[in-house]
Structure 1
Protein backbone atom coordinates (compact mmCIF):
# COMPACT_ATOMS: atom_id res chain seq x y z
CA UNK A 1 0.00 0.00 0.00
CA UNK A 2 2.87 2.39 0.78
CA UNK A 3 4.28 2.04 -2.76
CA UNK A 4 0.91 2.92 -4.24
CA UNK A 5 0.67 6.03 -2.01
CA UNK A 6 4.13 7.12 -3.15
CA UNK A 7 3.17 6.61 -6.80
CA UNK A 8 0.00 8.67 -6.42
CA UNK A 9 1.94 11.41 -4.64
CA UNK A 10 4.47 11.42 -7.46
CA UNK A 11 1.67 11.58 -10.04
CA UNK A 12 0.04 14.49 -8.21
CA UNK A 13 3.38 16.31 -8.08
CA UNK A 14 3.93 15.78 -11.80
CA UNK A 15 0.55 17.13 -12.82
CA UNK A 16 0.72 20.07 -10.38
CA UNK A 17 4.10 21.12 -11.79
CA UNK A 18 2.78 20.73 -15.34
CA UNK A 19 -0.18 22.94 -14.43
CA UNK A 20 2.10 25.52 -12.83
CA UNK A 21 4.15 25.74 -16.02
CA UNK A 22 0.95 26.33 -17.98
CA UNK A 23 0.02 29.08 -15.51
CA UNK A 24 3.45 30.70 -15.93
CA UNK A 25 3.04 30.59 -19.72
CA UNK A 26 -0.40 32.24 -19.53
CA UNK A 27 0.93 34.92 -17.18
CA UNK A 28 3.88 35.60 -19.50
CA UNK A 29 1.54 36.03 -22.48
CA UNK A 30 -0.87 38.27 -20.55
CA UNK A 31 1.85 40.47 -19.03
CA UNK A 32 3.70 40.80 -22.35
CA UNK A 33 0.49 42.12 -23.95
CA UNK A 34 -0.29 44.50 -21.11
CA UNK A 35 -3.31 42.55 -19.86
CA UNK A 36 -1.47 42.18 -16.55
CA UNK A 37 0.18 45.50 -15.78
CA UNK A 38 3.19 45.90 -13.51
CA UNK A 39 1.99 44.95 -10.02
CA UNK A 40 3.21 43.39 -6.81
CA UNK A 41 1.06 40.23 -6.92
CA UNK A 42 0.89 38.44 -10.29
CA UNK A 43 3.79 37.95 -12.68
CA UNK A 44 7.43 36.98 -12.62
CA UNK A 45 8.68 38.49 -9.37
CA UNK A 46 12.21 39.32 -10.53
CA UNK A 47 13.71 42.72 -9.60
CA UNK A 48 14.75 43.51 -13.18
CA UNK A 49 11.15 43.11 -14.38
CA UNK A 50 9.66 45.37 -11.72
CA UNK A 51 11.89 48.32 -12.65
CA UNK A 52 9.48 49.75 -15.22
CA UNK A 53 6.45 48.91 -17.33
CA UNK A 54 8.71 48.45 -20.36
CA UNK A 55 10.99 46.05 -18.47
CA UNK A 56 7.90 44.21 -17.21
CA UNK A 57 6.50 43.68 -20.69
CA UNK A 58 9.87 42.90 -22.32
CA UNK A 59 10.81 40.39 -19.64
CA UNK A 60 7.51 38.56 -19.82
CA UNK A 61 7.63 38.56 -23.62
CA UNK A 62 11.06 36.90 -23.48
CA UNK A 63 9.71 34.31 -21.04
CA UNK A 64 6.89 33.20 -23.36
CA UNK A 65 8.84 30.74 -25.56
CA UNK A 66 10.71 29.00 -22.73
CA UNK A 67 7.46 28.77 -20.74
CA UNK A 68 5.64 27.11 -23.65
CA UNK A 69 8.50 24.71 -24.35
CA UNK A 70 8.81 23.77 -20.66
CA UNK A 71 5.05 23.24 -20.40
CA UNK A 72 4.97 21.06 -23.54
CA UNK A 73 7.87 18.88 -22.37
CA UNK A 74 6.42 18.58 -18.85
CA UNK A 75 3.10 17.54 -20.38
CA UNK A 76 4.87 14.79 -22.32
CA UNK A 77 6.60 13.51 -19.16
CA UNK A 78 3.38 13.65 -17.13
CA UNK A 79 1.52 11.79 -19.85
CA UNK A 80 4.27 9.14 -19.94
CA UNK A 81 3.92 8.97 -16.16
CA UNK A 82 0.46 7.50 -16.60
CA UNK A 83 2.18 4.36 -17.92
CA UNK A 84 5.45 4.59 -16.00
CA UNK A 85 5.34 6.66 -12.79
CA UNK A 86 9.12 7.21 -12.87
CA UNK A 87 8.53 9.60 -15.79
CA UNK A 88 7.07 12.08 -13.29
CA UNK A 89 10.63 12.74 -12.11
CA UNK A 90 11.22 14.08 -15.62
CA UNK A 91 8.38 16.52 -15.04
CA UNK A 92 10.10 17.77 -11.89
CA UNK A 93 13.40 18.22 -13.74
CA UNK A 94 11.66 20.08 -16.57
CA UNK A 95 9.85 22.30 -14.06
CA UNK A 96 13.08 23.31 -12.33
CA UNK A 97 15.07 23.71 -15.54
CA UNK A 98 12.22 25.48 -17.32
CA UNK A 99 11.68 27.96 -14.51
CA UNK A 100 15.40 28.73 -14.47
CA UNK A 101 15.40 29.24 -18.25
CA UNK A 102 12.32 31.50 -18.07
CA UNK A 103 13.80 33.69 -15.32
CA UNK A 104 17.18 34.02 -17.05
CA UNK A 105 15.59 34.97 -20.40
CA UNK A 106 13.16 37.38 -18.73
CA UNK A 107 15.88 39.05 -16.64
CA UNK A 108 18.18 39.48 -19.64
CA UNK A 109 15.39 41.02 -21.72
CA UNK A 110 14.27 43.31 -18.89
CA UNK A 111 17.84 44.52 -18.34
CA UNK A 112 18.16 45.27 -22.06
CA UNK A 113 14.86 47.23 -22.12
Structure 2
Protein backbone atom coordinates (compact mmCIF):
# COMPACT_ATOMS: atom_id res chain seq x y z
CA UNK A 1 0.00 0.00 0.00
CA UNK A 2 2.83 2.39 0.82
CA UNK A 3 4.41 1.87 -2.61
CA UNK A 4 1.14 2.70 -4.36
CA UNK A 5 0.80 5.89 -2.35
CA UNK A 6 4.32 6.99 -3.31
CA UNK A 7 3.66 6.23 -6.98
CA UNK A 8 0.35 8.12 -6.87
CA UNK A 9 2.02 11.13 -5.23
CA UNK A 10 4.78 11.09 -7.83
CA UNK A 11 2.20 10.95 -10.63
CA UNK A 12 0.28 13.85 -9.10
CA UNK A 13 3.44 15.93 -8.78
CA UNK A 14 4.42 15.13 -12.37
CA UNK A 15 1.05 16.20 -13.77
CA UNK A 16 0.93 19.32 -11.58
CA UNK A 17 4.39 20.28 -12.85
CA UNK A 18 3.20 19.80 -16.42
CA UNK A 19 0.07 21.86 -15.83
CA UNK A 20 1.99 24.70 -14.23
CA UNK A 21 4.34 24.85 -17.20
CA UNK A 22 1.33 25.09 -19.50
CA UNK A 23 0.01 27.96 -17.38
CA UNK A 24 3.37 29.77 -17.53
CA UNK A 25 3.51 29.29 -21.32
CA UNK A 26 0.01 30.72 -21.78
CA UNK A 27 0.79 33.67 -19.51
CA UNK A 28 4.02 34.42 -21.38
CA UNK A 29 2.21 34.36 -24.72
CA UNK A 30 -0.62 36.57 -23.47
CA UNK A 31 1.68 39.10 -21.79
CA UNK A 32 4.00 39.26 -24.80
CA UNK A 33 1.03 40.04 -27.04
CA UNK A 34 -0.18 42.76 -24.68
CA UNK A 35 -3.31 40.92 -23.51
CA UNK A 36 -1.96 41.10 -19.96
CA UNK A 37 -0.62 44.50 -19.00
CA UNK A 38 1.98 44.94 -16.26
CA UNK A 39 0.28 44.28 -12.94
CA UNK A 40 0.91 43.00 -9.44
CA UNK A 41 -0.91 39.69 -9.76
CA UNK A 42 -0.48 37.83 -13.06
CA UNK A 43 2.64 37.16 -15.12
CA UNK A 44 6.31 36.64 -14.40
CA UNK A 45 6.91 38.61 -11.23
CA UNK A 46 10.55 39.49 -11.85
CA UNK A 47 11.90 42.94 -10.93
CA UNK A 48 13.43 43.44 -14.38
CA UNK A 49 10.07 42.82 -16.08
CA UNK A 50 7.97 45.13 -13.92
CA UNK A 51 9.81 48.36 -14.73
CA UNK A 52 7.59 49.37 -17.66
CA UNK A 53 5.46 48.08 -20.53
CA UNK A 54 8.45 47.53 -22.84
CA UNK A 55 10.41 45.37 -20.40
CA UNK A 56 7.22 43.49 -19.46
CA UNK A 57 6.53 42.51 -23.07
CA UNK A 58 10.16 41.83 -23.96
CA UNK A 59 10.69 39.58 -20.96
CA UNK A 60 7.52 37.59 -21.53
CA UNK A 61 8.28 37.27 -25.24
CA UNK A 62 11.69 35.82 -24.39
CA UNK A 63 10.11 33.41 -21.92
CA UNK A 64 7.67 31.96 -24.46
CA UNK A 65 10.00 29.53 -26.19
CA UNK A 66 11.58 28.06 -23.05
CA UNK A 67 8.11 27.69 -21.52
CA UNK A 68 6.72 25.87 -24.54
CA UNK A 69 9.76 23.59 -24.81
CA UNK A 70 9.71 22.77 -21.09
CA UNK A 71 5.96 22.11 -21.21
CA UNK A 72 6.35 19.79 -24.19
CA UNK A 73 9.13 17.83 -22.49
CA UNK A 74 7.12 17.59 -19.26
CA UNK A 75 4.04 16.43 -21.17
CA UNK A 76 6.00 13.66 -22.89
CA UNK A 77 7.43 12.48 -19.57
CA UNK A 78 4.00 12.64 -17.92
CA UNK A 79 2.52 10.43 -20.61
CA UNK A 80 5.47 8.07 -20.29
CA UNK A 81 4.75 8.03 -16.57
CA UNK A 82 1.47 6.29 -17.33
CA UNK A 83 3.58 3.28 -18.30
CA UNK A 84 6.37 3.65 -15.75
CA UNK A 85 6.04 5.97 -12.78
CA UNK A 86 9.77 6.73 -12.74
CA UNK A 87 9.22 8.85 -15.87
CA UNK A 88 7.36 11.42 -13.76
CA UNK A 89 10.77 12.49 -12.47
CA UNK A 90 11.43 13.74 -16.00
CA UNK A 91 8.37 15.98 -15.83
CA UNK A 92 9.47 17.33 -12.46
CA UNK A 93 12.99 17.96 -13.79
CA UNK A 94 11.53 19.70 -16.87
CA UNK A 95 9.55 21.95 -14.52
CA UNK A 96 12.58 22.92 -12.44
CA UNK A 97 14.89 23.35 -15.42
CA UNK A 98 12.23 25.09 -17.47
CA UNK A 99 11.48 27.68 -14.81
CA UNK A 100 15.17 28.39 -14.43
CA UNK A 101 15.55 28.80 -18.20
CA UNK A 102 12.46 31.03 -18.39
CA UNK A 103 13.64 33.34 -15.60
CA UNK A 104 17.12 33.70 -17.08
CA UNK A 105 15.88 34.39 -20.63
CA UNK A 106 13.15 36.79 -19.46
CA UNK A 107 15.48 38.76 -17.20
CA UNK A 108 18.16 39.07 -19.87
CA UNK A 109 15.64 40.26 -22.46
CA UNK A 110 14.09 42.78 -20.07
CA UNK A 111 17.49 44.16 -19.12
CA UNK A 112 18.41 44.50 -22.80
CA UNK A 113 15.16 46.32 -23.63
TM-score normalised by the shorter chain: which range applies? Answer: over 0.9
CA offset at residue 89 of structure 1?
Answer: 0.7
CA offset at residue 5 of structure 1?
Answer: 0.6
Q: What corresponds to 2:79 in structure 1? A: 79
Q: 1:89 and 1:72 mapped to 2: Cα distance?
A: 15
Q: What corresponds to 1:26 in structure 2? A: 26
Q: What corresponds to 1:11 in structure 2? A: 11
Q: Deviations over 1:6-32 (max 9, x none)?
A: 100100000000000000000000000
1:1-113 map, 5 Å: 1-113=1-113
CA RMSD of superposed structures (Å): 0.4
Unaligned runs of 5+ in 1: none
Would you say how many aligned residue pairs link Structure 1 and Structure 2?
A: 113
CA offset at residue 72 of structure 1?
Answer: 0.1
- Secondary structure, aligned partner of 1:46: coil
TM-score by length of 2: 0.99
CA offset at residue 77 of structure 1?
Answer: 0.5
Q: 2:74 and 2:46 mapped to 1: Cα distance?
A: 23
Unaligned runs of 5+ in 2: none
